[in-house]
Structure 1
Amino acid sequence: MHAPRLPRILSGIVLCAGLSVTAALAQTSSPGVQADGSVTSPAATVPYSDLASPEARAFFPKMLAAGSKAPPLTAPIAQSRAFYDRINSDRAARMKKLYPVKIHAETIAGVGTDVVLPAQGVAAENAHRVLINLHGGGFLWGAHSGGLVESIPIAGIGRIKVISVDYRQGPEYSFPAASDDVEAVYRALLKQYKPAEIGIYGCSAGGILTAEAVARFITDKLPVPGAIGTFCGSLTDLSGDSSYVAPLLNGQGVPRQRLGLTDLPYFHGANPQDPLVQPGLSPALLAKFPPTLLITGTRDMAMSSVVHSQQLLDRAGVPTELHVWEGMWHSFFSDPELPESREAYVVTARFFNRMLGH
């Protein structure tokens, strides 16, 4: 697999450590501003945010250290998937203790899924509602255990049924295979639920896929879901200030080249200007989007993309909620012990409870 600019991806957490492949600590002896607006600065120490929780401060260096143990990009994909599955399986086990759930596998429209139900039962108000989760993992890994990490706390706190989709990924498959799978599952669920009763959400690659799926539904003249959530990835490519600043804040220096969607094997051969790849490029599509929850953190390399996506949706007249957690990194809520993670789960559950049809 040839992916020269692809960073290490930890179950949907794109750790900036991976950018060391192309990172350049292009520091100078004195600060300055170039004609194009680029800022140069000598090496500096950036303290961790004093607005984040003590738990996050203690966990941050451990998180970065875990990313440094990831297999190299040249490793077989099976080796990488096994590595991230071990990490996510441990997270899911910790989550089950905090948020008891029942899990079973189910094939829907020929697509594998994991169905997560709260152990205490689905709440009465959610009896006719369902959430679809699209897991993160750079369109490379994250199936099953990664999906459970994103589904367990939402099912538990929200007392709602969550279906995590095992969509096709790279390097074996390419765009639009994942969108095909999501649409197949969505069409099947439309036979059981009203569109307004269905919510879709995902993190990182899953956040991007959530937006792509809605764009696909609109293009195929399907009714859109009642609400969606795009977390640490949304309507546009990973650009803007955070694509450079977040790697710096995460101890990896400023990359020479930022990560783009077409650097991911799944998007090889895809047209990055296609609105089904970047829905944010089409105001006409965005005007038909459902209410959207957007979540990110100040140390997330996708933060600028998420913030910009909220602006694009707002311009299109779409109701949105944007939540940015101070000091938090890409997919920070994958670890349930952080106070910020708990807050993100509650925000997500409350959003869908308000927005989905009754």
Structure 2
Amino acid sequence: MRTIRLARRFGATLAGLVAATSVAAQGAPPPLQVPEKSVPVPADVSPQMAKIVGAPLRQNWNIQPKTGEEWKPVAEAGAAALARQVPGMLERLKVKVERTTIDGVRAFIVTPETIPPENRDRLLVHVHGGCYVLNPGEAGLPEAIFMAGFGRFKVVSVDYRMPPEATYPAAHDDAMTVWKAVTKMADPKKTAIFGTSAGGALTLAMVLRAKREGLPLPAAIAPGTPMSDTTKVGDSFVTNAMLDNVLVSPDGFCDAGAKVYANGHDLRDPMLSPVYGDMHGFPPTILTTGTRDLLLSNTVRVHRKLRDAGVEAFLQVGEGQSHAHYIRDDTAPETRKVFEEIAGFFDRHLAR
């Protein structure tokens, strides 16, 4: 069985990360020194998920493009590879996709072959992940396809602008434009918003902005492993560094992408780090993460903040999973379970 080894050469890096996130006060406890160890793939995950969990660290995890122009070829290469997988997903999950434009914003309509009677008037809005710089076009569709296929909901997926086309707040503006249109297409009590990673952060930010602007709120939301704190505060930025085989490091490619999108804007602004926003009055929320996710703490902190605000919040955590592993393979039983859990949550909270 393949194991993941946390080598001594990363010891100084981890120690530095611990020191950076420890309490900046006189007399603070010293950082805990963790010995070198091997981390096996959990024995009780499916073969499909074991392959994902046991994969090597993402290639080029430490690239640091400084501009949107530098990100463009990276995004295009990744999108081409991912888009090639979409036809198979559509066939297996019996879903169709249609390109559209909603009030000037690029989007996709994702429709399952069969919609049950209780979902016929319901509509979901999806905002994809990719650190605000990756997964343009069809590359941003897998999560929406999974939700449509496993949950049998009609989904509007927002193909929001990213660098170099536009920087902050373009993605937020595009998502809100679609949300406003959706509230005219369907009763907001029959709608939900979901997304993973940057899409999870956008999901939370959309609710914060809708509250601020006096717009209708969705009946429920599902932020998956949200980038809820782009300032890199959180225990798992240390504990899961070099263990998460997707994001890998708090100082890796995703941090670089978020900074390019922010374009100098304050990263602690709740629009970019929604954990700092006021979550009173949020709709019922289901959050998803994994035990090896670099953003585990980002997710846990949002869950705790929602609970403290009196919001119904449910947290599901995948054993052994790194960042967003649950949207990697639609044939993995863990993936099906995640989306069926979300679909059940939505069914309980969306009006019929």
TM range (shorter): 0.7 to 0.9
- Matched residue of 1:199: which SS? strand
Other-structure match for 1:68: 59
Write the mapping of 1:208-357 to structure 2, written as runs, cut at 5 A.
Answer: 208-233=201-226, 235-237=228-230, 238-250=232-244, 264-282=259-277, 285-334=278-327, 335-357=329-351
User: How far apart in 1 are the matches of 2:190 and 2:148?
Assistant: 15
Q: Structure 2 unaligned runs (5+)?
A: 1-8, 23-27
Q: Structure 1 unaligned runs (5+)?
A: 1-22
Of 223-232 and 165-174, the range deviating more from structure 2: 165-174
Write the mapping of 1:57-96 to structure 2, written as runs, cut at 5 A.
Answer: 57-62=50-55, 64=56, 67-68=58-59, 72-74=63-65, 76-96=70-90
Aligned length, in residue pairs = 328
CA deviations 1:131-169 (Å, max 9, x no partner) are 011001110021222332011121112221101101122
User: How far apart in 2 are the matches of 1:197 and 1:303?
Assistant: 29
Other-structure match for 2:6: none
Other-structure match for 2:180: 187
- The one-letter code sitting in structure 2 at the alignment partner of 1:273 is R
User: How far apart in 1 are the matches of 2:191 and 2:226?
Assistant: 20
User: How far apart in 1 are the matches of 2:307 and 2:162?
Assistant: 31
- Matched residue of 1:286: which SS? coil
Query: Does the 8 Å contact 1:109/1:188 carry over to 2?
Result: yes
Q: CA 1:249–1:71 in 2, change beyond 3 Å: closer, same or farther?
A: closer
- Matched residue of 1:328: which SS? coil
- The one-letter code sitting in structure 2 at the alignment partner of 1:233 is P
Query: Does the 8 Å contact 1:27/1:41 carry over to 2?
Result: no
**Which of 117, 128, 137 is 2:130 aligned to?**
137
Shift of 1:272: 2.6
Of 175-184 and 321-330, the range deviating more from structure 2: 175-184
Other-structure match for 2:151: 158
Other-structure match for 1:26: 12
Query: Does the 8 Å contact 2:112/2:149 carry over to 1?
Result: yes
TM-score (norm 1): 0.83
User: How far apart in 2 are the matches of 1:27 and 1:88?
Assistant: 32
User: How far apart in 2 are the matches of 1:293 and 1:152?
Assistant: 18
TM-score (norm 2): 0.84
The sequence identity of aligned pairs, in percent, is 32
User: How far apart in 2 are the matches of 1:232 and 1:256?
Assistant: 14
- The one-letter code sitting in structure 2 at the alignment partner of 1:68 is Q
Q: CA 1:90–1:109 in 2, change beyond 3 Å: closer, same or farther?
A: same
- Matched residue of 2:139: which SS? helix
- Matched residue of 1:114: which SS? strand
Q: CA 1:192–1:300 in 2, change beyond 3 Å: closer, same or farther?
A: same
Q: CA 1:44–1:235 in 2, change beyond 3 Å: closer, same or farther?
A: closer
